[in-house]
Amino acid sequence: MDMPAPPPPPHQISDQCRKLSTVLSLVGDKWTVMIVMVLRDRPRRFNDIKRTIGGISQQMLTRTLRALERDGMVSRTVYPTLPPQVEYALTDLGRSMSEPVHALGQWAGAHLDQIEGHRADFDGRTA
């Protein structure tokens, strides 16, 4: 069969991106970033995190922490006291991730007004 080169698929980019989006979607998650940021200064307990963030349901906090634990970003330590204490902390991996995330946060902070300006502009023109 004379097919010297298999047709190079035009979506190498998307394939790579698709794998990355698995991780990227972590960052886009409404709560994940907040939790990582909160845990950045020090380990905290469940309701401590809940109170600090404020506005998150325990359902979502549980789920998000589970997801972070699953990805190895957060460690979960149970102290069998009474009442039980569970402490969440960033792992090395989690702390490592928090750096580029923080950088992105910096950028976002620096350009927030600009973006909101564009939005108001756009909405004004559209209305």
Partner DNA sequence: CAGGATCCTCATTGATACTG
Partner DNA sequence: CAGTATCAATGAGGATCCTG
Secondary structure, 3-state, the chain? CCCCCCCCCCCHHHHHHHHHHHHHHHHHCCCHHHHHHHHHHCCEEHHHHHHHHCCCCHHHHHHHHHHHHHCCCEEEEEECCCCCEEEEEECHHHHHHHHHHHHHHHHHHHHHHHHHHHHHHHHHHHC
Asked if 25 touches its own copies (CB under 8 A), the answer is: yes
Asked if 71 touches DNA (CB under 7 A), the answer is: no
Residue selected from 5, 13, 82, 127 as contacting its own copies according to rule CB under 8 A: 13
Binding site for DNA (CB under 7 A): 29-31, 45-48, 50, 55-60, 62, 65-66, 76, 78, 83-86
Q: List residues binding its own copies (CB under 8 A).
A: 10-11, 13-14, 16-30, 33-34, 37-38, 51-55, 69-72, 93, 96-97, 99-101, 103-109, 111-112, 114-115, 117-119, 121-123
